[in-house]
Amino acid sequence: MEHTRHADSGSDPVETLRKCTEHIHALYSLLQQQQFPTAHSVPIAALVSTASDILSSHQLALAACRTLLATVADIRLENAQLRAKLTAARFDQTQTSELSQARKPPSANRRPLKRARVLDSESESDDGQNEEREIGIMRETELVAPLPLPLPQARPGSRPPKRPHAIPSSFRSLTTFARRRYMDGKFAISTPNTLVLAHSLATPRRFDAADAQLFTGKLCDEFRSHGELVQSIASLLIHAGSIMSFSLADVLASAPKVKTHMQFEETVFAYLMRWTLRPLVVVRVLAKGENSDIVDQLVDAVAENERYMIQAAQLVVMVGIECDGYDDGLFEDSVFPAKESARFRVRERYGLVAGDLTDQRHAIAGDNEEEGELAHGYDWDQKVGGPNAVGLPPPTRKLISTLPPFDNVEPPNFDIHLDIPAELIKSVRSRNPTCRLRYEHGHLLSNQSSLRILSHLLVPARVLDQPALNNYLAILNANASFKRKMSPAIVQALLPYGLGTPVSHETLRGKLAATDANYTFVYTWRSMLYSFVRPVLVLETATKGERPDLWAVLRARIEPGVDVPKDAHLALLLGVECVGMEEPTREAQVQPVGERWYTLRERVGIVAKAKRQVGKRRRTAAIAEEEEQRERRRADAGDQQRDQEDDEEEDEDEDPVDID
């Protein structure tokens, strides 16, 4: 009998198993001989040797099988990654072709674009010829950009999702943003590079004060481009808890800020439905060991091809504005709700999320690309100054009441035309040609485009003690527009120095570098530049009866001929200033970057509602200049046409030549 004790572990597993079977048959024969002794009985030593051979063969067979299984798993993973790349390439190619077709007029000579075909699992070949052929198609369509691999990537499995989530066609007109609540057939959260493996509804309850504060701040931060509108509606829904829902009529009657922002029910209803399609927001990360019952329930719902990500996944609490009747989410066949019967509430969901929840790169991108270009990744630290968060009512102590009286104010000079210096405009417009600047047509602008500033005055410099600083921080935290309309990190760095105290460029840059791990010189330079050319922030308002002395001073600074509406009121404004350019003109000299000093300055002014309609397209300097050039070209073309017509008339008036 041949022994396989020293067989190679890398031999053919089929051959190894065949030899193992032969040893088993030999052992069976030996046992039969021992049970029925004959003259040719085999001694016990032969049985021990044979058993040792069988054990060695089994071990080799198991090792070979493990190697084979690992090889198969690697092949499946490579195929899954290749399939994901092909899918991403086809998606990018489809989007590029659709954009190109939308931008270019149709032509009869254009050839149809080739689309990369995604391989099915049944059509995969062992030699990889199909994959090479599909990659060749992608090269023919000139996909030179790197192919992104979604993170985390699910491995292929035998059990597909029973019913994938989707946004129906009747809802898609409301999805005006890149990241949505339902992506790739699953729920999605606002943090990118994450995957919600499973989710379940939490028990409806009334939120306590701490949770209401946290949820309001998170939602207002996610919908920050909507300002006071979302703050008012979110506060209404959250303070009622997830046990109550509100109809459109209830929202219009109960939310105080809705009437001042919107005049039509259809507009408010569209906003509510749009918010139900925004990604869920993670408000809390729970310990998996302390919530094993919830984890077990979610683990059972995870698909088989995604179970390898369970170990590293985190248990989170997600909140979002939802519409009643869609407890399980939206699917392809979901029906759009009627405006009269739709009811809205804020719901909690438990989720098992894979991926990095600390990724905050989405914080610099918003609905409005015009504003998102200027955020530069610096976030406001809500822990500074106390637990106040965005969305809660500010402290009762108003800042306007703490302003000092204005004595010996210089008379206004109406001949000065306030404007951003020409040197800065070129740099700002090269980065974002459509952003709103601090001055337009000689007038100061605020972050609220619906307000116009009739007159304003710089508040004298003052130092804030600790209670005043905490009060200031609380009011900034309660302002939903602060994080989008200002430069939060710069304000946070300058505020401890006081209002009106200059800080050098190097000092401020060092503080910004210490507060952000992704600090770069370019980001800091741009953030400093945009901080003092952007519109000022409206901190709070007051009636003229609260500070009649300020009203009298500011009323005298309004230009002659400008009417003061009855709804005009006082406003406290805040802005980052570059020392020496607090009230600049177009011809003002700009200091070199390294020699600039920055400070926080308050302004008090009289504001009123703008005459133009809210929501009307903003006419920036770039757009106005383009229209002016277009009108000039039209005028030149008209002059040429008139000259040509005059020449033709002169030719007709000439006497004919007599040829006789």
Kind plus residue range of the DSSP H or E element containing 476: helix 466-478
pLDDT in tens, 181-199: 998 888 999 887 788 999 9
CA distance linking residue 323 with residue 335, whole number of Å:
12
179 CB-near residues (< 8 Å, 6+ apart) = 188, 190, 192, 279, 362
pLDDT cut 90: percent of the chain above it: 15
- pLDDT for position 199: 92
pLDDT at 593 over 90: no
Residue 639 lies in a domain: no
CA distance linking residue 331 with residue 346, whole number of Å:
20
CA R_g for the chain: 36
Co-location of 412 and 346 in the same domain: no
Co-location of 128 and 192 in the same domain: no
- pLDDT for position 320: 93
560-569: long-range pairs with CB below 8 Å, 24+: 560/414, 562/454, 564/454, 564/606, 564/608, 565/608, 565/609, 567/608, 567/609, 568/454, 568/544, 568/606, 568/607, 568/608, 569/541, 569/542, 569/543, 569/544, 569/606, 569/607, 569/608
359 compared with 443, residue with greater pLDDT: 443
CA distance linking residue 150 with residue 88, whole number of Å:
9
- pLDDT for position 372: 30
CA distance linking residue 236 with residue 48, whole number of Å:
81
Residue 549 lies in a domain: yes
pLDDT band at 488 (very low <50, low <70, confident <90, very high): confident
Least confident window among 46-60, 134-148, 637-651: 134-148
Co-location of 139 and 178 in the same domain: no
* Residue entry with tokens 């021992």: 34
pLDDT band at 321 (very low <50, low <70, confident <90, very high): very high
Residue 351 lies in a domain: yes
From 599, 616, 439, 424, select the one nearest 535 (Cα to Cα): 439
| Mean pLDDT of the region 488-505 | 85
pLDDT band at 645 (very low <50, low <70, confident <90, very high): low
Co-location of 353 and 422 in the same domain: no
pLDDT at 603 over 80: yes
Co-location of 8 and 139 in the same domain: yes
Residue 643 lies in a domain: no
Which amino acid is present at 138?
M
Domain end residue (candidates: 342, 367, 392): 367
CA distance linking residue 324 with residue 253, whole number of Å:
19
Cis peptide upstream of residue 152 (ω within 30 degrees of 0): yes
- pLDDT for position 224: 66
Residue 658 lies in a domain: no
pLDDT band at 363 (very low <50, low <70, confident <90, very high): very low
pLDDT in tens, 388-417: 333 334 455 678 888 888 877 888 888 888
DSSP 391: T
354 CB-near residues (< 8 Å, 6+ apart) = 152, 194, 195, 197, 306, 309, 312, 313, 314
CA distance linking residue 329 with residue 163, whole number of Å:
11
Co-location of 185 and 308 in the same domain: yes
Domain end residue (candidates: 569, 584, 609): 609
Residue 374 lies in a domain: no
Cβ count near 582 (within 10 Å): 15
| Mean pLDDT of the region 428-452 | 82
In sequence order, what are the beta bridge partners of 354?
195
Co-location of 293 and 354 in the same domain: yes
How many CA atoms lie within 13 Å of 660's alpha carbon, on the beta-carbon side? 0
238 compared with 16, residue with greater pLDDT: 238
pLDDT at 592 over 80: yes
pLDDT band at 426 (very low <50, low <70, confident <90, very high): confident
Least confident window among 205-219, 294-308, 321-335, 423-437: 423-437
Both tokens of 84, joined, read: 């994901």
Structural domain that includes position 14: 1-105+113-148
Both tokens of 231, joined, read: 């703050």
Which region holds residue 33: left if phi is over 0, alpha if psi is between -120 and 50, else beta? alpha
pLDDT at 570 over 90: yes
* Residue entry with tokens 């637990």: 387
Co-location of 144 and 186 in the same domain: no
CA distance linking residue 37 with residue 41, whole number of Å:
6
Least confident window among 25-34, 268-277, 466-475: 25-34
| Mean pLDDT of the region 312-323 | 92
Co-location of 236 and 144 in the same domain: no
pLDDT band at 370 (very low <50, low <70, confident <90, very high): very low
pLDDT band at 347 (very low <50, low <70, confident <90, very high): very high
CA distance linking residue 592 with residue 323, whole number of Å:
54
Co-location of 573 and 505 in the same domain: yes
From 274, 273, 275, 272, select the one nearest 255 (Cα to Cα): 272
Co-location of 217 and 337 in the same domain: yes
pLDDT in tens, 505-515: 888 888 877 76
Compute the C-alpha angle 138/183/319, nearest 5°: 155
Co-location of 448 and 590 in the same domain: yes
pLDDT cut 70: percent of the chain above it: 60
Residue 625 lies in a domain: no
pLDDT in tens, 80-136: 667 766 766 665 555 555 445 544 444 444 444 444 343 343 344 444 444 433 333
CA distance linking residue 283 with residue 285, whole number of Å:
7
For the chain, how many structural domains are there in total? 3
pTM of the model: 0.40
578 compared with 619, residue with greater pLDDT: 578
Residue 458 lies in a domain: yes
CA distance linking residue 375 with residue 385, whole number of Å:
22
pLDDT band at 235 (very low <50, low <70, confident <90, very high): confident
| Mean pLDDT of the region 628-643 | 65
Both tokens of 277, joined, read: 């399609």
User: How far out from the chain centre does Cα 369 lie?
Assistant: 11
- pLDDT for position 409: 81
Task: Output the CA–CA distances (angstroms, integers) from residue 333 to 162, 165, 409, in the order listed.
Answer: 14, 10, 67
